[in-house]
Amino acid sequence: MHGLLGGLVFAAIIGGFLLYAQVHLQESSGVIVAVLFFIYFLPALVAEYRHHRQKLAIGILTLVGGWTLIGWVTALVWACTTDVEPPLTEFEKHLKRNQTT
């Protein structure tokens, strides 16, 4: 129940912001929507940037549960955990570039 209430409050704030943007800032509303999309998908972007092993699951959680504040924060914290793929060595990069499929 607490998560649902937080999600509704979050959605009301975003909805009110979008309504304000549509009424008062019609020229820049596209930019505002783009920024809100960036913020909404920030956990998935962080997971992708950090090469997180669970980036698909984090992306799905962000997409499905990101509208609740708890789901969004959970996805962001999960994306910041240390379960990342180790960086490739120069030799591994060379092998990956020259692989034949």
Alpha carbon distance, N-terminus to C-terminus of the chain: 51
Single pTM value for the model: 0.60
Residue 66 domain boundaries? 2-86
Cα–Cα distance for residue pair 7/96, rounded to 1 Å: 43
Cα–Cα distance for residue pair 35/37, rounded to 1 Å: 5
Does 23 fall in a domain?
yes
Does 14 fall in a domain?
yes
Dump pLDDT digits (tens) for 2-17: 455 555 566 666 666 6
Q: Total structural domains in the chain?
A: 1
Dump pLDDT digits (tens) for 54-101: 989 999 999 899 888 899 999 999 999 888 887 778 887 788 788 755
Does 98 fall in a domain?
no
DSSP 42-97: HHHHHHHHTTBTTHHHHHHHHHHHTTSHHHHHHHHHHHTSS-BPPPPPHHHHHHHH
Contact yes or no for 63/76 (Cβ under 8 A): no
Does 100 fall in a domain?
no
Does 101 fall in a domain?
no
